Each structure stands twice: as structure tokens, then as C-alpha cells.
Amino acid sequence: MLEKLGIPLKVVVSNCDETFPANSSITEGVRAVAKRKARGIEALDTDWVLGADTLVHVEGQVLGKPTDEAEARVMLESLSGRTHEVVTGVALVGPGVEESFAVSTLVSFAELSPEQIDWYVKSGEPMDKAGGYAVQGLAAAFVEAIEGSYTNVVGLPLTETIAALSKAGFAPWDIWKEAKR
């Protein structure tokens, strides 16, 4: 999403520990993991590092990325006909700056038939997605309503991320001005 806005970046996978701190809330947990991810990349020759962590939870149950097709089915069954929350923690680490925040969005799924779940799982799309689905992909067919940030459900709350970058002195608008010169 940032590349589409013309923001130059390099994607680097952080191999940090993604477990939540003990006794943390979901919001505190995703912020902590996002900070860990961003700090884990600081050793690179980079001015700014942006880390993010997204999770899905429904009725007190946290849904990470499914480990296999059976777990993906169970996740989709738990989301079927219900509203769940998607929470993304974002951390920005740069010269003299460390800021983090979390954004929450409610997503309502239609009632899913076993055939719909099988079709979706067989597509392979759920396998590397928090909650076992990608709202920007085939699972868009299951979403009845979104309350909050759509880009948060995709994995990066764009409006809030751009605001954090601007506040930290890295104004994306300046990049666009320079590119037009």
C-alpha cells in the first residue's frame, strides 16, 4: 500500500519473537510485537523502520495464522455469521523517534456453508493470513460489513501510518513534491 502511494521502501522480514507479553491486552500485545519487529531491523542501513502486527479475535479467542487446512477451517467456522475484531499494532522507529499505536476494526461475516469454507481453504489464500482470510482477496465475498479502517483489515492502517510518518518528520507529501520536480 505504501508503494502505491509512491513511498520508497524495502520489505524485510523480521525474525523476532511474536509472542505477546504476559498479561497484556490485545492492543498492548500487537503494539509490543510491532515494536519488536521494527527494532529487530534497526541493524540495517535504514533511516526508518516500520513494523506491524495484525491479529483477529472473536469472542475472546485470538486467531493467528492457521498452521494447516484443518485449522483454517476451524477459524472460518468460528468467524461464520459473527462480528470479529481485527487489531493491528504499528511501530515506527527512526532517527530519535519511536512511536507505536494500534487500530481496531470490526468485521462482520455472512453465515458460511461448509462448501464455501472448503472452496476458500482449497484456494490456499487463508494459509498466511491472520484469522485465516484476506479481505482484499476471495474472502471479500464473505464480508457483510466493516466498521472502521479497511486498510487495517488488509494489514496496515494506512491513514494512521501516514499521520505517524508525517508527525515523525517523514512527510510523504514531500516525496511526491520532489518527484514532480
Per-residue DSSP letter, 113: P
Higher per-residue confidence, 97 vs 160 = 160
Give the residue numbers spanning the domain of 56: 26-175
Cα 85 from chain centroid? 12
Distance (Å, rounded) from C-alpha 89 to C-alpha 152?
9
Q: What is the largest CA-CA distance in the chain?
A: 55
State the Cα–Cα distance between residues 68 and 126, nearest whole angstrom: 9
Q: Is residue 42 domain-resident?
A: yes
**Does 1 map to a domain?**
no
Question: Which residues lie closer than 8 Å to 149 by C-beta, 6 or more apart?
Answer: 103, 105, 157, 158, 159, 160
CATH number at residue 47: 3.90.950.10
> Which pLDDT tens digit goes with each residue over 78-96?
999 999 999 999 999 887 7
Asked if residue 6 belongs to a domain, the reply is no
Best CA proximity match to 84, nearest among 93, 74, 76: 76
Indicate if the pLDDT at residue 110 is higher than 80.
Answer: yes
Give catalytic residues, as residue numbers: 53
- Lowest average pLDDT, out of 54-58, 97-101, 130-134, 167-171, goes to 167-171
pLDDT interval class at 181 (50, 70, 90): very low
**pLDDT per residue as tens digits for the range 122-148:** 999 999 899 999 999 999 999 999 999
Within a domain: residue 16? no
Residues 6+ apart with CB under 8 A from 40: 14, 15, 16, 51
In this structure, the number of other CB atoms found within 10 A of the CB of residue 16 comes to 17
Please check whether residue 165 lies inside any domain of the structure.
yes
Please give the order of strands across the beta sheet that includes 83-94: 61-63, 49-58, 83-94, 97-109, 143-147
Residue 42 has a pLDDT of 59
Q: Which long-range contacts (CB under 8 A, 24 or more apart) does 14-22 make?
A: 14/38, 14/40, 14/41, 14/51, 15/40, 16/40, 18/53
Question: Region 149-161: what's the mean pLDDT?
Answer: 94
| Tally of structural domains, the chain | 1
41-87 pLDDT, tens per residue? Answer: 855 556 788 899 999 999 989 998 999 999 999 999 999 999 999 99
How large is the average pLDDT for residues 98-118?
Answer: 97
Condensed to tens digits (0 to 9), the pLDDT of residues 6-43 reads: 777 778 788 878 888 788 899 999 999 999 998 888 55
All residues at 6 or more sequence positions from 119 whose CB lies less than 8 Å from its CB, including other chains: none
- pTM for this one? 0.87
